[in-house]
Amino acid sequence: MSKPTKIPATEPASSKPPLRIALVEDQPKVRDDWSRLINSLPDLACICTCKTAEEALRVIPEVQPDVVLMDIFLPRMSGIECVGRLKELLPQLRIVILTAMNDEELVFMALEAGADGYLLKRTKPADLRAALLDVLNGGAPMTSEIARRVVESFRLKARTRDESLHLSVREEQILLLLSKGHSNKMIADRLEISVDTVCHHLKHVFEKLHVSSRTEAVVRYMASKTTPTPL
């Protein structure tokens, strides 16, 4: 199997090291265009590109990127399956779907597999950079039309069942901050509690909302809660 193309990182625009991005895309021109775009943006560096999911599963655990940009339609194994397998290997790895498809079923399949965000390939460069920085801080970036579809879907499901969330005030506060892209550490500092306490509350939130990821929790909260608890 051929090795992925190594992309030299550009000099960061600040004193902080650049965000290390891995790109999984099977189309050569698209792959080259996106890697060049990533390297042209401040604070970002594309450290490797992979042509297939199989290659990604072999290489990404070795290079340890901060964020993976994953296409859905790859030869043989799909990007969605690759997301699930990478999450098993590297549970803390942030993975954002980057695709031309805005099909609602694919969106939910990707989120259920463990994707931390879902962007369309027509996303503007500045929005791409913001999304990648956001996901590293615990956010769940989505192209606006994707976010609307997800919220509408959850609202539809909420109308078909009489179910109360029964969240505590503290749990609602944490979810509200989570929806704004705050990391566990940032939430702990804001609420003056420990990170372990934040994690403990999030565990109960996941159980109450019947979700398994931060992304699902945020989307469910946005769809079900019309008046957030003020901080």
Is residue 159 included in any domain, yes or no? no
| pLDDT tens per residue across span 40-96 | 999 999 999 999 999 999 999 999 999 999 999 999 899 999 999 999 999 999 999
We report the CATH number of the domain holding residue 142 as 3.40.50.2300
| Same domain for 183 and 130 | no
| Same domain for 111 and 59 | yes
Is residue 229 included in any domain, yes or no? no
Mean pLDDT of the chain: 82
Q: What is the pLDDT of residue 167?
A: 81
Is residue 157 included in any domain, yes or no? no
pLDDT over 70, % of the chain: 81
Could you list the residue range(s) of the whole structural domain that residue 216 is in?
164-224
| Same domain for 68 and 101 | yes
In terms of pLDDT, which residue wins out, 11 or 137? 137
Token digits for 115?
């994707």
Least confident range from 14-23, 49-58, 98-107, 130-139: namely 98-107
Least confident range from 53-57, 79-83, 100-104, 189-193: namely 100-104
Which strands, in side-by-side order, build the sheet including 117-120?
44-50, 19-24, 67-70, 94-99, 117-120
